[in-house]
Structure 1
Amino acid sequence: MDVVARLYDAFARRDGDEMASLYAPDARFRDPAFGELTGVEAGQMWRMLTSRAEDLEVDLVAHDASSAHWIARYTFTQTGRRVVNDVHASFVVRDGLIVEHADSFSFWRWSRQALGPAGLVLGWTPLLRSKVRRTARAGLDQFMRR
């Protein structure tokens, strides 16, 4: 099984440790919610997300060695709202480990679902995107201190 398939298989099983093991020590990760993460931060992000997920479902729709289309279904814990996030990912893999990973999705679509009326009205603004990133980063920093 290639590294991209292994990543999403582990994600579907909520195995953050396995996901983290697939990243190179100098890996770079980026997405609309967390912004840019480097080094061990990507693995720690997956550990945090999988440890908190109660009803997470992950479907790998399609993939190859450098890209994936996947869908996550979960309850956003901060609001209790159900989210279906349709994500496209690109990867650079070296020596069997992920060195670059970028997820892209419609932040406005995500924020409408996760945040309700506030996301509908403000989801397209840099202000809300910045607030979500600060909150996500603060949560990751707190998780990493434990």
Structure 2
Amino acid sequence: MQRYEQLIKKFYTCFQQRDFACMNSAYHPDATFYDPVFGNLNADQVKAMWEMLTGRAEDLRVTVSDIQVDAAEKYGSCRWEAEYTFSATGRKVINHVKAHFKFQDGLIIEHMDDFDLWKWSKQALGFSGLLLGWSGFVQTPIRKKAKQGLRKFMESKR
């Protein structure tokens, strides 16, 4: 197994164990992150996000598959699935994610998670997510609340 395949596997093993420090050790000091909920995050923000999310997810189950790294060991990808209870509503969520990575100096320098926010909102929010989860009317407040929650979490750690 190549070093970056091992790095990706380690990252998601740490995620399953809710070990944010181990997850964060896979990131380059200048890492960036993007997903449909939190948007663009810098290295400090993404590390805080994982700490916040792993701290809340008491029943988290993570699986990873289809780990791929290009021959030049510059880019990689995988599919991963998270199953957990969304704390704000108590609803069960199974989120299917495609992750894309760029590597530098033996670490993840760019990480992008791609998933269907409408499918997520149907599970997490129930009826309102089913009816309007595809629209900015629901997605914008989801994003805003996530960013505010991350900001408050980071402020509480200072």
2:16 to 12, 16, 41: 12
Residue in 1 aligned with 2:108? Answer: 98
- Output the amino acid matched with 2:21: D
CA deviation profile, 1:40-97 (whole Å, cap 9, x unmatched): 1111111110111110000012212300100100000000000000100000011111
Contact 1:75 1:81 (8 Å CA) reproduced? yes
| Count of equivalent residues | 146
Any idea what the Cα deviations from partners look like across 1:70-125, whole Å, max 9, x if unmatched?
A: 01000000000000001000000111111110001111110000000110111101
Where does the alignment leave 5 or more consecutive residues of structure 2 unmatched? Answer: 70-75
The answer as to whether partners of 1:88 and 1:103 remain within 8 angstroms in 2 is yes
Find 2:35's aligned residue among 26, 31, 36.
31
Q: Which amino acid aligns with 2:141?
A: K
2:132 to 108, 116, 122: 122
User: Shift of the alpha carbon at 1:39?
Assistant: 2.1
**1:17 aligned partner, one-letter code:** A
Supply the RMSD in Å over aligned alpha carbons.
Answer: 1.0
Give the ranges of 4+ consecutive aligned residues of structure 1 lying more than 6 Å apart after TM superposition: none
Q: Mark the runs of 5 or more structure 1 residues left unpaired by the alignment.
A: none
Offset, 1:25 = 1.8
Please tell me the residue identity of whatever aligns with 1:103. Answer: D
Instruction: Calculate percent identity across the aligned residue pairs.
Output: 46
Q: Displacement of 1:127 after TM fit?
A: 2.5
Instruction: Give the SS at the match of 2:88.
Output: coil
User: Which of these two proteins has the greater Rg computed from alpha carbons?
Assistant: 2
TM-score by length of 2: 0.89
Give the match for residue 135 of structure 1.
Answer: 145
Classify the secondary structure of the residue corresponding to 2:138: helix
SS in 2 for 1:40: helix
